[in-house]
Amino acid sequence: MADLTSNFLGIHSPNPFWLASAPPTDKAYNVYRAFEAGWGGVVWKTLGEDPAPVNVCSRYSCHKNTRGDVIGINNIELITDRPLQINLNEIRQTKKDWPDRALLVSLMVPCKEESWKTILRQVEETGCDGVELNFGCPHGMPERGMGSAVGQVPEYIEMVTHWCKQHCNLPVVVKLTPNITNIVIAAEAAQAGGADAVSLINTINSITGINLDQMVGYHAVNDQFTSGGYCGTAVKPIALNMVGQIARSPDTADLPISAIGGISTWRDAAEFMALGAGTVQVCTAAMLNGFKIVQDMIDGLSRWMDSKGYPSLDSFQGAAVPSLTDWKYLDLNYKTIASIDQNSCIQCGRCYAACEDTAHQAIAMTPDNNATQRRFDVIDEACVGCNLCQITCPVENCISMIRQQTGKPYLNWTQHPNNPIRES
Amino acid sequence: MNKPDIHSSRLSAEEYQRNFADIKPALSDYEAHIEASRCLYCEAAPCIPACPTGINIPAFINRIATDNIDGAAQAILDANILGGSCARVCPTEILCEQACVRNHEPECSPVKIGRLQRYAVDNRQPGEHPFIRLPETGKAIAVVGAGPAGLTCAHHLARKGHNITLFDAREKPGGLNEYGIASYKLVDSYARQEVDFVMEIGGIYPEYGLQLGHNLSLDQLRKQFDAVFLGIGLGGSRPLGLQGEEAQGVEDALPAISSLRQCNDLSQLPIGRRIVVIGGGNTAIDIACQCKRLGAEDVTIVYRRGSEQMSATDHEQAFARDNGIRILTWLQPSSLVIEGGYITAVQLEKTALDANGKLQGKGELTSLPVDTLYKAIGQHFLVDSFANTYESPELNGNRIVTDDNFRTSLVNVWAGGDCIDKGKDLTVHAVEHGKRAAYAIHHYLQGGSDNG
């Protein structure tokens, strides 16, 4: 059996699945249930200064696919709306009752050194394992100069991180906002401030839809709405990219990462780890399925690791990072063409429509009409290997992209004759 | 003597209600959405030509999936104004759903096109008729037969601005949809509602209780109107050709289905305990299942060939078996046992194909006790429809001959539905005939040739 125990910044947990700082980790009752279900750790929902903020009714909305599955949730809930002391007491008791689990505390206070100093001292006394600085929350708090208002200014990230490292002995994780242009700059700022790790991504600014009868967006609070933070499986590709960019950047390559963003299966978790993450944080999948989902994640990850011969998490952590590169280094002589397995083809013609209308006219339909029995064939000479037909095909493994032996050596854009500024 | 066991009130009120409720209940909004999302939106979708009326199926399903129900209904009704009843009575498993590419998947589960079609038509915003009638042309057309073919023809011609007089021999319009389809397939007087919907277009003037060959003559109609469309169906049931066929308890299936359809209180309908149905089509299945659902104890369908040759689809046969109906094949009735004017049993003879592939009786006999025997071996065209006419259209095997544009041998007479020699006895085929004949008639009235 693979060893799923995790050691992240010296914080030990029985598995790398943590619950992200979010509504599911707002109070001891939920956190106890999470630990009972098997979660390896939690990041307690963000604490702030008293008096606690006040939340509105109607806090979530969602984006569904055509089958009605939720692919993303938008939320406008603020940081904890409970008094600081209640949270601190519960955190202390929780850590005492669950010593083997990771318990980090998320923090967000005004950009004043004194504010951070005060709360860090209070939090440190609870016996928790570390702090996560919430520089990412995109709704509500930035209007008050906190959350992503800090995370969007690298100088602030560095400054506040620096204060925290000065006034606290615990590991400091900086949670980054994706609502910026280049995540690496934010990660570099955290690193410069002395951060022990970064966690990302926080939620993405979003509006999930407009109610066309009421002419107000979702989720409406009475007759108004505001943009919220988007999360769930829909954001996974964005999160993966940001994690990957930090992991492959020479300056931040050694910065530990706790990955967040649409992780809902063991496979998602393994992918983030393969791109360099040390632990993963989950929220939406738990909100949609309940805490029990972690058991399937643990089981799936463990079996996959066994099947691949990975004894521990660090044996595959970062394994996909070296293959992530700039476009200019991709091999221009690499060639694939599509191949349709006639036995599994159901003759829907989706590949044909895609290629004929929007790509390279590389699929032939015979006969050229809506006969009950027809055939779709790839025109090899016209196929550029774009993968679009494979993407539109509803049948798994029906369309394969077959590698072609061109006999030509590796050639990238920096070397290509068409490049006016080629290197050689 | 065996007294025939025929009486009413065999079941409780709840049982009648349950047995004659909709066999394919409507989809909920949620179910329709999920089902619609299964459509792959095929390129040159094979389901479209598999629909005899050529409904643009992927388009209407995509409109359901995108909350555009009126748009979905419009796409259906434009190709098939009786899309609501076709959605209910079509054997979709041998039409659109058979062509669905999802049959090629390992799951073999086609998109439920018929049920989605019903959802779209049923959930259309009521109120405005979806089609606009063009300005009056002053042309008048006689449509004889207010069944699926006639109604469709009348609607398409009315859309073009012509005036239609719609004749029917019965007191109610609808034809087989009203009188000939098992009632659990078309519940809640849907056939009548659909006729009312068709009439909303305007310019259609019904004249019921007038039958061609009796109180209506083709000669007269041809003089009075600019064109005539005949959609008069098949009025007669084929006989077995056995002695004693006129005895009590030997009945034609269609009139029996009709009286069931028109009956307001099923508990008042007398039904035999032991039923034998002769025939292998959907009418045989319909009467057998309805008898069973009325409380008959023992219902047997007897067909002279194998189940593969039955014109009832596999789906219909399975439905009959699910209803507890016994289907006996390779048997034909050889004589009826009549006692005191009542049928009490039917003698059946085993059949087989001879070396030339011709069906032969083999002389081996068996017998079934019977309270009521229903004949469902097909209908035939009532030739006396033209008894009071000087010039009749050409017939072929007792059905009206038409060309590719549904024109008969008479210059201003078109025909469609079951009464023509290309008739295929499905509602949806009749609709398509009516539609295409209407195009041809309109073209003719515009002064074009008949190749419209």
User: Is residue B34 within 8 angstroms of chain A, CB to CB?
Assistant: yes
User: Among all chains, which residue has been given the structure tokens 């059946």?
Assistant: B348
User: Three-state DSSP class for A266?
Assistant: helix
User: Do both B350 and B430 map to the same domain?
Assistant: no
What is the predicted pLDDT for the residue at A144? Answer: 79
Cα–Cα distances in angstroms (integers) from residue B416 to residues A15, B12, B216, B247, in the given order: 73, 42, 19, 35
Q: Evaluate if residue B1 carries a pLDDT over 60.
A: no
Contact A370 B41 (CB under 8 A): no
**Final residue of a structural domain among A296, A323, A350:** A323
Look at residue B107 in the predicted model and tell me its pLDDT.
81
Q: Which residues of B, range 69-108, sit inside 8 Å of A by Cβ?
A: 99, 101-105
Residue A44, SS3 per DSSP: strand
Q: Is the pLDDT of residue A371 over 80?
A: no
Query: What angle (nearest 5°) sits at the alpha carbon of residue B372, between those of residues B366 and B378?
Result: 85
**Which of B41, B44, B101 is opposite residue A369, by nearest beta carbon?**
B44
Which whole number is the average pLDDT over B172-196? 90
Q: Which of the residues A345, A347, A373 would you substitute to probe the B interface, choosing the one with the greatest number of B C-beta atoms within 10 Å?
A: A347
Interface contacts A/B by beta carbons within 8 Å = 53
CA distance A399 to A394: 10
Nearest residue to B98 via CA among B119, B113, B76, B88: B113
B46 vs A347: CB contact, 8 Å cut-off?
yes
Report whether pLDDT(A299) > 90: yes
Interchain CB contact of B54 with A (< 8 Å) = no
pLDDT in tens, A60-117: 999 998 888 999 999 999 999 999 999 999 999 999 999 999 999 999 999 999 999 9
Judge: A374–B34 Cβ closer than 8 Å, yes or no.
no
For residue B335, the cross-strand partners are B347
Is 50 exceeded by the pLDDT of residue B452? no
Closest CA in chain B for residue A347: B101
CA distance to A263, A344, B413, per residue, from A324 (Å): 20, 33, 75
B304-333, pLDDT tens digit by residue?
999 999 999 999 999 999 999 999 999 999
User: b vs e for A316-353, b when ≥16 Cβ sit within 10 Å of the residue's Cβ?
Assistant: bbbebbeeeeeeeeeeeeebbbbbbeeeebbbbbbbbb
Could you give phi then psi for residue B350, rounded to 5 degrees?
Answer: -65, 145
Mean pLDDT for the stretch of residues B395-409:
93
Query: For residue B400, which of B388, B387, B416, B412 has the smallest C-alpha distance?
Result: B416
B193-222 average pLDDT score: 95
Choose the closest CB to A350 out of B37, B43, B102.
B43
pLDDT of residue B2: 57
Q: Are residues A338 and A308 in the same domain?
A: no
B44, B45, B105: residue with CB nearest A346: B105
The CATH number for B295's domain is 3.50.50.60
> Which element (helix H / strand E) includes A192?
helix A183-192
Distances in Å between the Cα of B292 and the Cα atoms of A202, A352, B11 are 65, 50, 11
A386 in a structural domain? yes
Give the catalytic positions of A in this structure: 137
**What pLDDT score does B409 carry?**
96
Confidence of residue B451 (pLDDT cuts 50, 70, 90): very low
Which of A71, A340, A341, A348 has the most B C-beta neighbours within 10 Å, making it the best mutation to test the interface with B? A348
Pairing, β A363-366 against β A375-378: antiparallel
Nearest by CB to B99, which of A67, A352, A372?
Answer: A372
Determine which of B33, B97, B98, B101 to mutate to test the interface with A (most A C-beta atoms within 10 Å).
B101
Q: What's the token pair of residue A345?
A: 């083809």
- Among the listed residues A159, A226, A170, the one whose alpha carbon sits nearest the alpha carbon of residue A197: A170
Looking at the structure, do residues A202 and A74 belong to the same domain, yes or no? yes
Stated pTM of the model = 0.86
Asked if residue A420 is part of any domain, the answer here is no
What is the three-class DSSP state of A325?
coil
User: Are A364 and A225 within one domain?
Assistant: no
Mean pLDDT of chain B, nearest integer: 93
Question: Smallest CA–CA separation between B64 and chain A, in Å?
Answer: 11
| Full domain range(s) for residue B163 | 140-235+381-445
pLDDT band (50, 70, 90) for residue B405: very high
Residue A424 lies in a domain: no
Give the containing element (helix H, strand E) for A64.
strand A60-64
Residues making up chain B, counted from first to last? 452
Q: Are residues A270 and A307 in the same domain?
A: yes
Q: In the structure, what pLDDT confidence band is assigned to residue A319 with cuts at 50, 70 and 90?
A: very high
**pLDDT value at position B4?**
80
Q: What chain A residue is nearest to B33 in terms of C-alpha separation?
A: A67
**What is the largest distance, in Å, between two alpha-carbon atoms of chain B?**
69
Distance CA B43, CA A353 (A): 6
- What ipTM describes this predicted complex? 0.80
**A365 near B CB under 8 A:** yes
Residue B449 clears pLDDT 70, i.e. is over it: no
Band (B235; pLDDT cuts 50, 70, 90): confident
Q: What is the mean pLDDT of chain A?
A: 95
Instruction: Flag whether residue A209 sits within 8 Å of chain B, measured between CB atoms.
Output: no
Does B401 map to a domain? yes
My answer on whether B249 and B352 are in the same domain is: yes
Nearest chain B residue to A343 by CA: give it: B104
β-pairing, A11-13 with A172-175?
A: unpaired
Q: Residue B60 is part of a domain; what is its CATH number?
A: 1.10.1060.10
Q: How many helices (H) and strands (E) does chain B have?
A: 16, 19
- Residues of A in Cβ contact (< 8 Å) with B44: 349, 365, 368-370, 374
Task: For residues A154-169, give the mean pLDDT.
Answer: 96
Is it the case that residue B366 has pLDDT exceeding 60? yes
Within this chain, do residues B367 and B242 fall inside the same structural domain, yes or no?
yes
pLDDT at A143: 81
- The radius of gyration computed from the CA coordinates of chain A, to the nearest angstrom, equals 24
- Tokens describing residue A104: 């980090």
Bridge-based pairing state of the strands A279-282 and A257-260: parallel
- Is residue A71 within 8 A of residue A235, CB to CB? The reply is no
Q: Is the pLDDT of residue B168 over 60?
A: yes
Omega before residue A204 within 30° of 0, cis: no
Range of the domain at A216: 6-323
Radius of gyration of chain B, Cα coordinates, nearest whole angstrom: 23
- The answer to whether residue B25 sits within a structural domain is no
Name B129's Cβ contacts closer than 8 Å, sequence gap at least 6: B197, B200, B201
Q: What's the pLDDT at A139?
A: 77
Instruction: With beta carbons under 8 A apart, name residues in chain A contacting B34.
Output: 67-68
- Specify whether B316 is located in the same domain as B194: no
